[in-house]
Amino acid sequence: MADMVRAVVQTGPRQMELREFPRPVISAGGGPGGAQDGALLRVEACGICGSDVEQYKGAMGSRGLPMIPGHEPLGIIEEITPETAARWGVKAGDRVAVEILIPCRSCDLCLAGQYMQCKSRPGSHGGYNPPERGLGLYGGYAEYMHLHPNSIVHPVRADIPAQIAVMYNPLGAGVRWALQYGGVHLGSTVLVLGAGQRGLAAILASKYVGAGLIIATGLGRDAAKLELAREFGADVTINVEEEDTVARVRELTGGDGVDVVLDLTPIALSPILDAVNAVRWGGTIVLAGLKGRSADGEPRAVSLPTDMLINKALTVKGAFSVDAAAYMDAIRLIESGKFPLEKMQTHKFGLDDVEHAIQLLAGEVPGENGIHVAIMPGL
């Protein structure tokens, strides 16, 4: 095995370079504070999403740079200390999906199952870790990653192509947002606003549990994604540039509106008002599309008719992140083989082409339309 590990390092906004790092040495209790404990993961694939795009552009600030991005990794455990193997229930040779957060696993929030908000986390995978912390190789844009003993991993069957198995991340979001936050279940009527990889994932999750009516929206340029939405289980798709979403939803639901609306559209504010108008009395709206900040730096705001929330007895939920239960359900969905997920997997690139991959997902590469884009360090 090579002594050096290739990894993509972000040094500034839109600045990335390939660097070599010494291959981490894993040893039980080794290094300061047990920093070398844990496992060594050979990265097979790392998904990229809108957060990678924001990170690349520098929208998340430059504190913590340089760093190795990549927060949706999947790989094979190559080395693991006996204690970590016992705690995680995995062994060398196993394929695992890795969660972004490395929680402390013992604060009040961790014990309450809200570990995504852990206040004393040792770090995160693909987040802004100080470069001097631990063994450095935290992110998934690399041939190998060091997994801290507190990392959270989920076993995934090894016979599924890596570029498909790595979709545990967007599918986990679909499960979390549609099923857990939205409460979609057998027979539910659902409106999914936005047809990106997470919109498609929400459709898959809703279909998986037997939703009765699934409606999905997109723009004119999303035609291919809306076609895929129908293939994945959407009963009706709406091109919002040609049709009025609310009128169409009312028509499809006998005037009642749908049980659950998910807003997954970035930046656009009008879908939030569409959600309020298209949801039925007593229904649930899940907000997961970040709207960003205005030129003055303030969060972009929509003027919300709060009387409608009251008079329609609505529940509005902010969907933050994904948890272990959702990731596990998403992995079961992938392993079920029930959906042609390969149709969502549009592009895969090696470490030399990470910037191109991110630009492609961001829609900056003319003529290319990415849905799920994976970095595969072995390519």
The end-to-end CA distance of the chain, in Å, is: 17
Q: From 83-91, 102-110, 138-146, 349-357, give the range in contact with Zn ion by CB under 5 A.
A: 102-110
d(Cα 50, Cα 298) in Å, to the nearest integer? 20
Q: With contacts defined by CB under 5 A, name the span among 109-117, 209-217, 248-256, 349-357 that binds Zn ion.
A: 109-117
Read off the tokens for 229: 């939405």
Looking at residues 268 to 307 of the shown chain, list those that interact with Zn ion (rule: CB under 5 A). none
For residue 104, state whether it binds Zn ion (rule: CB under 5 A). Answer: yes
CB of 105 to Zn ion, least distance (A): 6
51 near Zn ion, judged by CB under 5 A: yes
Q: CB neighbours of 235 closer than 8 A, spacing ≥ 6?
A: 213, 214, 215
SS3 335: helix
Under the binding rule (CB under 5 A), the answer on residue 103 touching Zn ion is yes
Per CB under 5 A, the list member of 41, 110, 190, 216 interacting with Zn ion is: 110
- Of 18-26, 108-116, 152-160, 208-216, which part binds Zn ion (CB under 5 A)? 108-116
Opening angle at CA 74, ends 86 and 230, nearest 5: 130
Position 246 contacts Zn ion (CB under 5 A):
no
For the stretch 268-273, contacts whose Cβ atoms lie closer than 8 Å and that sit 24 or more positions apart, written own/partner, are: 269/300, 269/301, 269/302, 271/193, 271/194, 271/217, 271/245, 272/302, 272/304, 273/302, 273/304, 273/305
The reply to whether 149 sits near Zn ion by the rule CB under 5 A is no
- Does residue 173 bind Zn ion (CB under 5 A)? no
Shortest distance (Å) from residue 66 CB to Zn ion: 20
**CA 78 – CA 94 distance, rounded (Å):** 8
49 binding Zn ion? (CB under 5 A): yes
Angle between helices 197-208 and 223-232 (to 10 degrees): 20
Q: Total residues at the site for Zn ion (CB under 5 A)?
A: 7
Tell me the closest approach of the beta carbon of residue 44 to Zn ion, in angstroms.
17
Only one of the segments 41-49, 149-157, 186-194, 322-330 lies at the binding site for Zn ion (rule: CB under 5 A); that segment is 41-49
β-pair partners for 285: 261, 316
Among 101, 118, 240, 278, binds Zn ion (CB under 5 A): 118
- CA 222/CA 194 separation, integer angstroms: 9
Contact between 117 and Zn ion by CB under 5 A: the answer reads no
- Return the SS3 of 36: coil
Nearer to Zn ion, 47 or 136 (CB): 47
Minimum distance from residue 325 beta carbon to Zn ion (Å): 17
Q: Which of 107, 223, 236, 325 binds Zn ion (CB under 5 A)?
A: 107
Helix axes 270-278, 245-252, angle to 10 degrees: 20
- 361 lines the binding site for Zn ion (CB under 5 A): no
In the shown chain, the binding pattern of residues 57 to 96 toward Zn ion, with x for contact by CB under 5 A and - for none, equals: ----------------------------------------
Q: Of the candidates 6, 9, 79, which has an alpha carbon nearest to the alpha carbon of residue 41?
A: 79
Kindly tell me which of 7 and 214 has the beta carbon lying closer to Zn ion.
7
Q: CA Rg, the chain, in Å?
A: 21
User: CB of 362: closest distance to Zn ion in angstroms?
Assistant: 13
Interface positions with Zn ion (CB under 5 A): 49, 51, 103-104, 107, 110, 118
